[in-house]
């Protein structure tokens, strides 16, 4: 077992493959793993769908390297692509299936020096590609109170956003922000004791919010969803795994537009241009069962939605 396989247990792997496999039966069918990570889902798809080829997109060069090593046995059936997944429209051929496994990867979460983990002390970075953009420390050291409050409230759904933001601004006057341990300690000291005893680690919401802001996760997701649907051939399938409500709401909003007829009520025949463009493959959002959660605790918060394209996608 290679390093990537040891570091990563793909969430809902078998269910994702089952949803996408019917679209990958023809020779040369193209599967796009828009969030390659350590390659576990792609490995399963290429194993279970012997006629498929795959492109794996990831912005993290380290993850891309480890996944490519993991998938080397598939030869030219796999092609890596270093990019953010909103560049999916650069693929110049019809796509048969798309998978998006959103959020932070095992590689990023488990390595303290990446700065994503509130339970481990390390540099306060949080960039999925450390060669690009502003780190979390730089954001905390430069953003004003209002900006930080909005980030923590909107992206972390943090009730104490303003109070935490005020303390972040105050403390950086004495000592610039540089480590995850500094931030986790401040949050623990700021949130009232009764609130700290509910809902897991009190730093979780702030770290989530900063990670989303640093990597523009929601902006990229909202740009990507229609691009991915436009890339699909008719009969192509798309599955998205979300891990918090903001991601899932964005996915649900776009899918719902395609799952709904837009013709005025009462028409005896629905005009083709108003007919639904998607067919639902899941009933709402599917969750992991208790057995999978016991085996892989990161599956606890997953929400899986999948659709099939039945008419060409057009933004409405």
The pTM is what?
Answer: 0.88
Q: What is the pLDDT of residues 227-268, one digit of tens each?
A: 999 999 999 999 999 999 999 999 999 999 999 876 666 666
Give the bridge partners for 95, in sequence order.
232
pLDDT for position 237: 98
Q: What is the pLDDT of residues 156-191, one digit of tens each?
A: 999 999 999 999 999 999 999 999 999 989 999 998
Let me know the angle formed at the C-alpha of 100 by 183 and 229, rounded to the nearest 5 degrees: 130
CA distance 283 to 302: 15
Please state the residue numbers annotated as binding site for S-adenosyl-L-methionine.
Answer: 39-41, 58, 85, 101, 108
223 shares a domain with 86: yes
pLDDT band at 5 (very low <50, low <70, confident <90, very high): very low
Which of 181, 216, 251 delimits the end of a domain? 216
Q: For residue 93, give its domain range.
A: 3-107+218-309
* Phi, psi at 89, each rounded to 5°: -75, -5
132 shares a domain with 75: no
pLDDT for position 1: 45
CATH of the domain at 8: 3.40.50.150
Q: Report yes or no: 155 and 246 within 8 Å, Cβ to Cβ.
A: yes
Contacts for 307 with CB less than 8 Å, ≥ 6 apart: 237, 238, 255, 258, 259, 278, 279, 280, 281
Which of 168, 198, 216 delimits the end of a domain? 216
Give the bridge partners for 232, in sequence order.
95
Residue 316 lies inside a defined structural domain of this protein: no
Please state the residue numbers annotated as binding site.
Answer: 39-41, 58, 85, 101, 108
Average pLDDT, the chain: 89
Q: What is the rounded average pLDDT of the residues 37-50?
A: 96
289 shares a domain with 153: no
CATH of the domain at 124: 1.10.150.170
224 shares a domain with 210: no
pLDDT band at 203 (very low <50, low <70, confident <90, very high): confident
Number of domains in the chain: 2
């Amino acid at each position: 077992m290679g390093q990537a396989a040891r570091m990563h247990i793909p969430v809902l792997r078998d269910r994702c493959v089952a949803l996408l496999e019917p679209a990958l039966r023809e020779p040369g069918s193209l599967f796009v793993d828009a969030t390659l990570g350590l390659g576990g889902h792609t490995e399963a798809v290429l194993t279970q769908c012997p006629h498929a080829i795959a492109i794996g997109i990831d912005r993290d060069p380290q993850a891309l390297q480890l996944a490519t090593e993991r998938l080397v046995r598939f030869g030219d059936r796999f092609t890596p692509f270093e990019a953010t997944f909103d560049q999916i429209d650069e693929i110049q051929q019809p796509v048969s299936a798309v998978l998006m496994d959103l959020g932070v990867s095992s590689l990023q979460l488990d390595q303290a020096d990446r700065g994503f983990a509130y339970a481990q002390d390390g540099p306060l970075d949080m960039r999925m590609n450390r060669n690009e953009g502003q780190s979390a420390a730089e954001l905390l050291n430069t953003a004003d109170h209002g900006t930080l409050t909005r980030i923590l409230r909107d992206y972390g759904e943090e009730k104490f956003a303003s109070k935490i933001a005020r303390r972040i601004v105050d403390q950086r006057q004495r000592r610039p922000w540089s480590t995850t341990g500094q931030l986790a300690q401040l949050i623990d000291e700021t949130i009232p004791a009764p609130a700290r005893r509910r809902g897991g680690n009190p730093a979780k919401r702030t770290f989530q919010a900063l990670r989303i802001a640093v990597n523009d996760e929601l902006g990229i997701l909202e740009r990507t969803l229609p691009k991915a649907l436009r890339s699909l051939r008719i009969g192509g399938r798309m599955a998205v795994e979300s891990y918090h409500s903001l991601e899932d709401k964005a996915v649900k909003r776009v899918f719902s537009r395609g799952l709904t007829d837009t013709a005025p009520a009462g028409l005896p025949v629905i005009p083709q241009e108003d007919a639904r463009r998607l067919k639902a493959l899941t009933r709402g959002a599917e969750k992991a069962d208790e057995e999978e959660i016991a085996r892989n605790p990161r599956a606890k918060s997953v929400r899986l939605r999948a659709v099939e394209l039945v008419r060409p996608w057009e933004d409405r």
